[in-house]
C-alpha cells in the first residue's frame, strides 16, 4: 500500500428540503384546511477514526464527499425524508486543517473519535406550520437551509512513542530492523527511506512504538532533499533518538545540521527530550570512537551514547534510555508476559 500523509478534500453537507403548500381536498369533508408537511433535514459530513488504517491513500482517488439533500415536504402532512450522512474514515493521528492550512479544525488521535465537519441544513416549514386562528388558509412555506461547502486538508501524523532522527544513512532503518519486526528498505546510499516506517520494539518486558522518518540534510527547511514535512510524524513522540553516523568525516557538523533544521521547523520539537547516539562504532577504532564522542559531547553539552545497529552493540542500553522518557501509561506489556499472566482457557 502506498503511503500518503497529506490530502486535499472537498466536502458539502446536504441542503434542507423545502416545505410544502398543500390543502386537504376530500369529498364530504368541509373546511379541509392546510396539510403541507415540512422538508427533510440535509445530511451531515462526519470524520471518524477507524482501526486498520495507516495512510490517507483512499483520498487520492476520491476527493469529493457530498452528503444527501433532504427531500421536500408533501401533502397530507408528510414530512420529507432526511438526507443520509457521509463519513470520512481516517487513521488515528489525522489532523483536519482549513483551506489555508493555518487553523487546526480537529486533531484525531484515538480510534472511535468522531467530529462533524459540516452540518446539514434544516428542512423548511410547510404551510401547516403557519396555520392560526387568524390565518386559517396560509399559502406560504419556507425553503430549506442551504448546504455548507468547504475545502479542508487532511494531514496524517503517525502515533509513535519515540522518533528516529538523523542524516541520510545514519542507520535509522537498520536500528528499526534490528529492534523490531519492521522491514524498512536498507541500502548504502542516501534517501533509502522515502516514507515513514513504524516498528514495535521491546525491552525489559514492555513494548513501545518507534517511528523512522527520511533523513534530513542541510537546507531541508527550504525544500532541499525530501524537505522537512516528515518531521510532523515525530511531533507526537515523547522522546527523539538522534543517530549520528560515526563513519562521517565531521560528526559535529552533521549533528549541528540536524539541530538547526529541527529548530527551524518547530521550537517545541527542538526542545523535546532527545537521546544522542554515535552509531556505527563497529567500523571505528577505539581511538576514533573516543575522539568523536568527546567532540560531540563538547558541542552539545550532553552525554553521547555509543551503538552499532548492525552488530547490536549498545542497542539494549539505548532502548532503556528511550523507555525511561516514555510515560508508563503508554507502555505495553510484551505478548509473552501477557500470556504468562493470563493463560489460555477453553
Distance of CA 97 to the CA centre of its chain: 11
Reported pTM: 0.79
Start and end residues for every CATH 3.40.50.300 domain found in the chain: 162-339
- Buried residues in 309-328 as b, exposed as e (16+ CB within 10 A): bbeeebbeebbebbbebbee
What average pLDDT does range 254-268 have in this prediction?
A: 90
Class of 162-339 per CATH? alpha beta
CATH of domain 1-156: 2.70.210.12
Start and end residues for every CATH 2.70.210.12 domain found in the chain: 1-156
What average pLDDT does range 245-273 have in this prediction?
A: 90
Could you report the per-residue pLDDT of 79-100, keeping only the tens digit for each? 999 999 999 999 999 999 999 9
Could you report the per-residue pLDDT of 178-236, keeping only the tens digit for each? 888 877 777 766 666 777 888 889 888 888 999 888 888 877 666 665 666 788 888 88
- % of the chain with per-residue pLDDT over 90: 54
How much is the mean pLDDT over the chain?
88
Amino acid at each position: 500500500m502506498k503511503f500518503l500523509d497529506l490530502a486535499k478534500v472537498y466536502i458539502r453537507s446536504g441542503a434542507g428540503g423545502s416545505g410544502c403548500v398543500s390543502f386537504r381536498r376530500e369529498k364530504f369533508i368541509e373546511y379541509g384546511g392546510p396539510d403541507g408537511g415540512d422538508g427533510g433535514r440535509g445530511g451531515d459530513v462526519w470524520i471518524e477514526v477507524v482501526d486498520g488504517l495507516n495512510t490517507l491513500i483512499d483520498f487520492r482517488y476520491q476527493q469529493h464527499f457530498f452528503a444527501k439533500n433532504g427531500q421536500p415536504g408533501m401533502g397530507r402532512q408528510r414530512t420529507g425524508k432526511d438526507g443520509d450522512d457521509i463519513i470520512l474514515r481516517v487513521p488515528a493521528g489525522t489532523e483536519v486543517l482549513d483551506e489555508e492550512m493555518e487553523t487546526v479544525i480537529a486533531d484525531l488521535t484515538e480510534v472511535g473519535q468522531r467530529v462533524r465537519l459540516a452540518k446539514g441544513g434544516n428542512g423548511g416549514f410547510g404551510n401547516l406550520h403557519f396555520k392560526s386562528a387568524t390565518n386559517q388558509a396560509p399559502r406560504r412555506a419556507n425553503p430549506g437551509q442551504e448546504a455548507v461547502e468547504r475545502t479542508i486538508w487532511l494531514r496524517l501524523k503517525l502515533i509513535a512513542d519515540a522518533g528516529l532522527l538523523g542524516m541520510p544513512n545514519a542507520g535509522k532503518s537498520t536500528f528499526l530492523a534490528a529492534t523490531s519486526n519492521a522491514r524498512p528498505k536498507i541500502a548504502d546510499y542516501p534517501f533509502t527511506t522515502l516514507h515513514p516506517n513504524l516498528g514495535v520494539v521491546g525491552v525489559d518486558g514492555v513494548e513501545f512504538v518507534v517511528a523512522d522518518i527520511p533523513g534530513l540534510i542541510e537546507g531541508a527547511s527550504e525544500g532541499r532533499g525530501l524537505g522537512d514535512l516528515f518531521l510532523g510524524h515525530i511531533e507526537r513522540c515523547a522522546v527523539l533518538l538522534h543517530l549520528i553516523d560515526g563513519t562521517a568525516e565531521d560528526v559535529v557538523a552533521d549533528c549541528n545540521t540536524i539541530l538547526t533544521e529541527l529548530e527551524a521547523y518547530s521550537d517545541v520539537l527542538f526542545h523535546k527530550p532527545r537521546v544522542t547516539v554515535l552509531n556505527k562504532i563497529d567500523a571505528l577504532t577505539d581511538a576514533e570512537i573516543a575522539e568523536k564522542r568527546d567532540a560531540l559531547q563538547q558541542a552539545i553539552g550532553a552525554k553521547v551514547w555509543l551503538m552499532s545497529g548492525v552488530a547490536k552493540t549498545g542497542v539494549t542500553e539505548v532502548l532503556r534510555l528511550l523507555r525511561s522518557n516514555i510515560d508508563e501509561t503508554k507502555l505495553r506489556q510484551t505478548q509473552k508476559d501477557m500470556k504468562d499472566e493470563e493463560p489460555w482457557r477453553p
